[in-house]
Structure 1
Amino acid sequence: MSATMTRPRPLRRREPLVRNHSKTLVGLAAWTVGLFFFAPFAWMVLTSFHSETDAATNPPSIAAQLTLDGYREFFGASTGASPWPALINSATASVLSTLLVLALSIPAAYALSIRPVRKWSDVMFFFLSTKMLPVVAGLLPVYLAAQNLGMLDNIWLLVLLYTTMNLPIAVWMMRSFLAEIPVAILEAAAIDGAGLPTVFRRIIIPMAAPGIAATSLICFIFSWNEMLFAQVLTGVQASTGPVFLTSFVTSQGLFLAKVCAAAVAVSIPVLIAGFAAQDRLVQGLTMGAVK
């Protein structure tokens, strides 16, 4: 017998079949839930390419002939009503309010997380309590104040309102993101003589970039989709995209194909922003989670 005996190779452990089946079931359940939420949007997109006659059939015909008549109606091919002023107003109000929200929420989150003020939990509860009031309850006072100030049908009024509406959410989100930054890095920067503006520019903002992207995207979506204040407080000059959608619901009836085409067209900027910041959004929303 040889002095050096060959040791048998250890057998690889195979995962139990039950675990494999459970993973498969979880994957199928996730796909089912995802398709369930995606189905209404897919149906809206398909209906937007149908004629009004095919869209009004019950049940709707999936294999109906496709057409661009709904999109031609949205862009004013026959009516002459252009959606571009409303879309530009939506973009202006959403972008400017988001920038203002970030400019106010990041310093506030810094004071509530990295350099916490006294009774910071009471401050956070105050921010949260501002979201407990229904929007309809504050509509009349806001309307009267805007009327007295001469700001009705003014895009800057929407910028101010969207900023105040999204600021509490942004403060809560940014606080959770900034709380993940190690304090030791900030202390080392302070020892090296870095001032607060330098710390913000070279440490806090780069490290919290995913959180800033997630916060800005959510605030942009909320501002873009808001319709109640825009419907009541604007008229012709400051009308937004969601308000323009209501013009397709007339006394003659609901033109389903036109409404679906208009809804898809108004949703495109939000979808583009979501896909462009997808990686940052996922990374930002998972900051602080158990890895």
Structure 2
Amino acid sequence: MSDVRVSNIRTRGAAVHAPRPKALRDRQPGRARGAGLALAAWVAGLLFFLPIAWMALTSFHSEQDAATNPPSVAASLTLDGYREFFGSGGGASPWPSLINSFVASTASTLLVLVLALPAAYALSIRPVKKWTDVLFFFLSTKMLPVVAGLLPIYLFAKNTDFLDNIWLLVILYTSMNLPIAVWMMQSFLSEVPVAIIEAAQIDGARLPTILTRVVAPIALPGIAATSLICFIFSWNELLFARVLTGVVAQTAPVFLTGFITSQGLFLAKVCAASLVISLPVLAAGFAAQDKLVQGLSLGAVK
């Protein structure tokens, strides 16, 4: 019995002092690497968020406190910048410009989706000949500098009485965002199973029904990501809106540039206006964040 006990003790001791498997030893550097990447991601996120937080804080300061150098972080808070932005001090109301931006961005995004979905369907699920050349042609239209096309578009708008017209911006934003929308949605629609489309065709479904009831629900994350990006591009566009609009079709970014006057730059008021004008984009991104992440990562994992 004593020999058996001694052998058991030796066996247990050998098990305790046995070297760990290689998989367990390799897991420790992986955890350290993951923690380092997570820390770097948090630092990068804070660096990107810091200017927005600083802008939000400055918007609640008075003009005197916002203009101090170095800035006063612990200064008293006030809503004077927002009151002046919304016209309580006798200035122009921002609501017409905000409505114009919303109409131009929303209408152009809807038109882009209506045009890009059939085009992406033809290039992915029912590919045409040399579809890669077609995609490159779509993308090459984005390589033209915007300034190069500004004068011809201005002359066209002037001769057709389209200056200061919101629908001219809708057409321009649609044409500007359509190439990138087709490029994005082609990659999203290529993930749609062809067997489902063939089953719908056997049941007698035609192309409009297939696009709206079969393809669109499956590719909804990609459509949401594409529409959000097109909306952001349209909302932030300044050059065409600054040149082609005046009073009636003025957009929110153009209205924001009006705060830089000969009297100087009113920093608190500009920060308040910038935060309010950024809210629709932030709200849209927050509302569609799950679809956006799912759409942008679509096809990344097989």
Q: TM-score, normalised by structure 1?
A: 0.94
Structure 2 residue aligned with 1:36: 47
Residue 202 of structure 1 corresponds to 213
1:232 aligned residue: 243
2:170 corresponds in structure 1 to 159
How far off is 1:233 after superposition?
0.3
Please give the alpha-carbon distance, in whole angstroms, between the structure 1 residues aligned to 2:28 and 2:192: 42
Aligned to 1:71, which of 71, 78, 82? 82
Do structure 1's residue 288 and structure 2's residue 277 form an aligned pair? no
Partner of 1:179: 190
**Residue-pair matches, total:** 288
Number of the residue aligned with 1:4: none
Q: Distance in 2 between matches of 1:52 and 1:191?
A: 68
**Aligned counterpart for 1:46 among listed residues 32, 57, 62:** 57
2:104 aligns to what?
93
Determine if the alignment matches structure 1 residue 106 to structure 2 residue 120: no
Deviation at 1:61, TM superposition (A): 1.1
Of residues 218, 223, 226 in structure 2, which corresponds to 1:215? Answer: 226
2:128 equivalent in structure 1: 117
Say whether residues 1:254 and 2:254 are aligned partners: no
Query: Identity over the aligned pairs, expressed in percent?
Result: 72
Q: Which amino acid aligns with 1:270?
A: V
User: Which is helix-richer, 1 or 2?
Assistant: 2
Asked if structure 1 preserves the Cα contact closer than 8 Å seen for 2:116 and 2:181, the reply is yes
Any idea what SS the aligned residue of 1:130 has? Answer: helix
Separation (CA, whole Å) in 2 of partners of 1:269 and 1:210: 20
Q: Rg larger in 1 or in 2?
A: 2
Deviation at 1:14, TM superposition (A): 4.6
Structure 2 partner of 1:137: 148
When structure 1 is superposed on structure 2, of 15-24 and 148-157 the one drifting more is 15-24
Return the offset for 1:129: 0.8
Q: Which residue of 1 aligns with 2:66?
A: 55
> Once the 2 structures are TM-superposed, how far is the Cα of residue 24 of structure 1 from its aligned partner?
1.4
More deviation in 190-199 or 261-270? Answer: 190-199
Question: How far 1:125 moved relative to its partner?
Answer: 1.1
CA distance in 2, matches of 1:201, 1:52: 52
Equivalent in the alignment of 2:179: 168
**2: distance between equivalents of 1:150 and 1:180?**
45
Paired letter, 2:132: S
CA contact (8 A) 2:118 2:211 kept: no
Letter of the structure 2 residue corresponding to residue 167 of structure 1: L
Residue in structure 2 matched with residue 149 of structure 1 by the alignment: 160
Task: Determine the C-alpha separation between the residues in 1 that align with 2:253 and 2:143.
Answer: 24
Out of 238, 255, 274, the residue aligned to residue 285 of structure 2 is 274
Aligned residue identity for 1:100: L
**Cα offset, 1:191, TM superposition:** 2.1
Offset of residue 75 of structure 1: 0.2
Letter in 2 for 1:256: L
1:26 to 13, 37, 43: 37
Aligned residue for 1:115, secondary structure, equals coil
The one-letter code sitting in structure 1 at the alignment partner of 2:239 is: L
C-alpha separation in 1, matches of 2:231 and 2:137: 23
Over residues 19-50 of structure 1, what are the superposed CA-to-partner deviations in whole Å (9 max), with x where a residue is unaligned? 22222111110000111111111111111111
1:121 Cα deviation from its structure 2 partner: 1.4
Counterpart of 1:237 in structure 2: which amino acid?
V
Q: How far 1:79 moved relative to its partner? A: 2.3
State the SS of the aligned residue for 1:231.
helix
Alignment partner for residue 193 of structure 1, among 194, 204, 209? 204
Write the distance in 2 (CA, Å) between the matches of 1:157 and 1:24.
Answer: 51
- 2:274 is aligned with 1:263: yes
Contact 2:222 2:298 in 1 (8 A): yes
Letter in 2 for 1:130: T
User: Distance in 2 between the 1:200 and 1:21 partners?
Assistant: 47
In 2, distance between residues paired with 1:231 and 1:224?
Answer: 13
SS at match of 1:78: coil
Show structure 1 runs of 5+ residues with no match.
Answer: 2-7
Give the RMSD, CA atoms, in angstroms. 2.1
What are the Cα deviations for residues 124-144 of structure 1, in whole angstroms up to 9, with x where unaligned? 111111100111111111100
